[in-house]
Structure 1
């Protein structure tokens, strides 16, 4: 991300500078001991801005909309350990009918979260893409990376299988059998203050661990 010439790139832009109080901290790159130094850098304008897309979703049967997600929208079974029979479509084109524990549409930001644990690819924030990934599919299915002008539909195709919509790890609404959820790029974004480039954060916090 480009460095900011001033304190705030826009009077209407809200930037998030997050402090890592946990273990992974991929989105929260500032540690508690580094807060003062981070604030000094921000006051001097010595930081970058990473603008992250979100995904929006709605029920095609009721037209109900769900909260935007920074990481992923997940469609999962309402019953623990039960698989869902789903029909996956992109831009109205049928891709595959599949049995799986669930399906998600992740953003580049979310590509290093649940998507990665489910075998999906890492996508650098700033890439205009979304990732369709299934959870523990019964048959072979690789993640699909699509442009952000795509519309992804997940349809439940069994008459007695109910699902749930989960936005960023929070259960939001039930999905009735034989109904569909559509997912697309939201018009809203989230902006993070960044002090280190993406691949350095990736190496330090997540993937490319050095062998000691």
Structure 2
């Protein structure tokens, strides 16, 4: 990266993020994402996910500064030393999940998920799922509110709230986590190799409808959802020294 990198500042609609955009762009210059050496995302974790999806075809890494709430994927906000922080930043590379969802109509919908792909009940009754891993039935019937497959980067998000494990970056595993499992009672899920291909079959879609979500993109009335890691897509995230994603994931387990 140059001593004076070309920066593309992107901001959420939040007032704090918009104010930061005006201040930083005036101070450091503003470039189009396609012409930038680095993208600086101003907002919260949701906006970071939006930015990564929107810029995934670009070579520039993304450095987030928190102008939202939790900010797990973000660095602290500061205006005075941005160029030094960008030059010193540590890089983490993550691969998203590719969801292929088949609806009751036969329509097939594909989407990428940086955090997780979730199966969620869409009616008053618990869902019934069959779980197939790499072509082999691993669970004939899971009765639950839902289930998800999470990446290491997303393991502290919905997965963690559902009592799934926190996964270190580079561990080469995915988390398969159940939400409010009724049968098998209290089944929490499994750890799978990153190369695993997971398929959820909805066993009673007419009576117990389900929806699927890839990050925040929802697909209604699904009958089958396949999930796999897509290593052809790489997201490069930058973090301040000593505050990288590995450190954050480790620290989260002791709080």
| TM-score bin, normalised by smaller chain | 0.7 to 0.9
Name the CA shift for 1:191/1:46 in 2 (closer, same or farther; >3 Å).
same
CA shift at 1:146, angstroms?
1.1
Which whole-Å CA distance do the structure 2 matches of 1:137 and 1:92 have between them?
23
Which whole-Å CA distance do the structure 1 matches of 2:2 and 2:194 have between them?
29
Equivalent pairs, count: 195
Moved more, 86-95 or 63-72: 63-72
1:198 equivalent to 2:245? Answer yes
Which whole-Å CA distance do the structure 1 matches of 2:179 and 2:165 have between them?
13
The equivalent of 1:189 in structure 2 is 234
1:142 equivalent to 2:184? Answer no
Specify the SS of the correspondent of 1:153: strand
Deviations 1:98-152 (A, max 9, x none): 1111110100011011101111111112222211111110123132111121110
The equivalent of 1:125 in structure 2 is 169
Unaligned runs of 5+ in 1: none
Which whole-Å CA distance do the structure 2 matches of 1:60 and 1:167 have between them?
13
Which whole-Å CA distance do the structure 1 matches of 2:115 and 2:213 have between them?
11
Which whole-Å CA distance do the structure 1 matches of 2:107 and 2:172 have between them?
26
Which whole-Å CA distance do the structure 2 matches of 1:57 and 1:67 have between them?
5
CA shift at 1:161, angstroms?
1.7
1:104 equivalent to 2:104? Answer no
Specify the SS of the correspondent of 1:201: helix
Contact (CA 8 Å) 1:66, 1:172: kept in 2 or not?
no
1:94 equivalent to 2:137? Answer yes
* Coordinate RMSD, CA, aligned: 2.4
Which whole-Å CA distance do the structure 1 matches of 2:244 and 2:61 have between them?
17
Residue in structure 2 matching 1:21, options 67, 71, 86: 67
Which whole-Å CA distance do the structure 1 matches of 2:219 and 2:99 have between them?
11
Residue in structure 2 matching 1:166, options 213, 217, 229: 213
The structure carrying a bigger helix percent of its residues is 2
TM-score of the two chains, using structure 1 as the length reference: 0.81
Contact (CA 8 Å) 1:19, 1:35: kept in 2 or not?
no
Unaligned runs of 5+ in 2: 6-36, 39-57
Which whole-Å CA distance do the structure 1 matches of 2:181 and 2:218 have between them?
23
